[in-house]
Amino acid sequence: MGDLTYVTKETLESMKAELKELKGPGRNAIAKAIAEAREKGDLKENAEYDAAKEAQGHHEAKMARLESAIVNSRILDPKDIDLTKVTILNKVKITNLKNDKSLTYQIVSENEADLKLKKLSVTSPLASGLLGKEVGDIAEVETPGGIVKFKIEEISI
């Protein structure tokens, strides 16, 4: 059994849609590729067949991970989120005290994490260091370059 994950309703719907795509058209495309490769002769020396079978294995594994994530997901309603301290689904404005640079991140589940969208996984070192802190607190985060201190400026949804 996987770990319980808190997600937004939109993320859960997105995960379900991706799984539906993988189970339907995705599976069909791989089955077609395997059938085409099989038609090309001796399977012992057929690189296309080997590649298609490997792709099938990766595809099935991805479906299994996604199914597990869906089963273990719980929808977190934004109105139930505590804004007095940093928790999952909060947006947090922080200031790096070393270079005085401000950044805003949203703390999300591992499935939702996307650094380009400024969404940090709750299990990342930075998010872990911020969890439970309140506005005005200093979070010390261990990085490869040493400890970096961040001041919590604002917590929102």
Q: pLDDT by residue (tens digit) across 91-148?
A: 999 999 999 999 999 998 887 889 999 999 988 999 999 999 999 999 999 888 889 9
Domain ranges of the chain: 5-75, 78-156
pTM of the model as a whole: 0.66
H helix intervals, 39-124 = 47-71
- The matching CATH number, chosen from 1.10.520.10, 3.40.50.150, 3.30.470.20, 3.10.50.30, for 78-156 is 3.10.50.30
Q: For residue 69, give the amino acid letter.
A: A
Residue pair 83/152 in contact by the 8 Å Cβ criterion: no
Q: Give all strands (DSSP E) within 17-157, no chain letters.
A: 73-75, 91-96, 101-108, 119-121, 138-143, 146-156
Architecture of domain 5-75: Orthogonal Bundle (1.10)
Q: pLDDT by residue (tens digit) across 101-117?
A: 999 999 988 878 899 99
